[in-house]
Amino acid sequence: MSDVKKFMFVNRKAPYGTIYALESLEVVLITAAFDQDVSLAFLDDGVYQLKKGQQTKGIEIKNFSPTYRALEDYDINKLYVEKEALEARGLSAEDLIVDVSVVSRAEMGKLMDEQDVVLSF
């Protein structure tokens, strides 16, 4: 199909402290219905969204991290995480709740440049 566009959702905020992470996830799930080429990028504090073991009972906010594992069902399989951002936070791919592609900052920049539409959260 020629009208398929490349959409990238750029996630740069930690979960819970602000509403951006949850809003992004909801828009991603809605966008999935339109059969576009969707990818998700996690950089800066956005990598914290994917941290394993989130337990939100004590702050009385819904833990939405399990929903990242449903992205596969929505045919969203391109998840890119910036290597430098993980390292600056003492994290590695094993700390994340889903399988991702870990890419360098330079590679991330290239991926962004290839997109038709970039949505920032």
Partner 1 sequence: MLHIVNKSPLSSSTLESCMNTAVGGDILLIEDAVYAATAGNAFESKLRAAMGRFKVYALQPDLEARGMGDKLMDGVTAVDHGGFVDLAASNKNCQSWL
Partner 2 sequence: MANIEVGGKSYETDEEGYLINLTDWNTDVANYIAKTESIEMSDQHWEVINFLREYFDEYQIAPAVRVLTKAIGKKLGPDKGNSEYLYGLFPYGPGKQACKIAGLPKPTGCV
User: Whole-angstrom Cα distance, residue 82 to residue 114?
Assistant: 16
- Residue of 73, 94, 113, 114 interacting with partner 2 (CB under 8 A): 73
Q: Which is nearer to partner 2, 32 or 91 (CB)?
A: 32
User: Whole-angstrom Cα distance, residue 42 to residue 120?
Assistant: 11
The verdict on 69 binding partner 2 (CB under 8 A) reads yes
User: Whole-angstrom Cα distance, residue 114 to residue 90?
Assistant: 29
The verdict on 16 binding partner 1 (CB under 8 A) reads yes
**Residue found by looking up tokens 């991702």 in the block:** 100
Touching partner 1, residues 33-92 (CB under 8 A): 44-45, 48, 51-59, 61, 63, 65, 88-91
Residue pair 10/121 in contact (Cβ under 8 Å)? The answer is yes
User: Whole-angstrom Cα distance, residue 5 to residue 16?
Assistant: 30
Q: What is the binding site for partner 2 (CB under 8 A)?
A: 26, 29-30, 32-33, 62-64, 66-67, 69-70, 73-74
Residues that bind partner 1 (CB under 8 A): 12-18, 44-45, 48, 51-59, 61, 63, 65, 88-91, 95
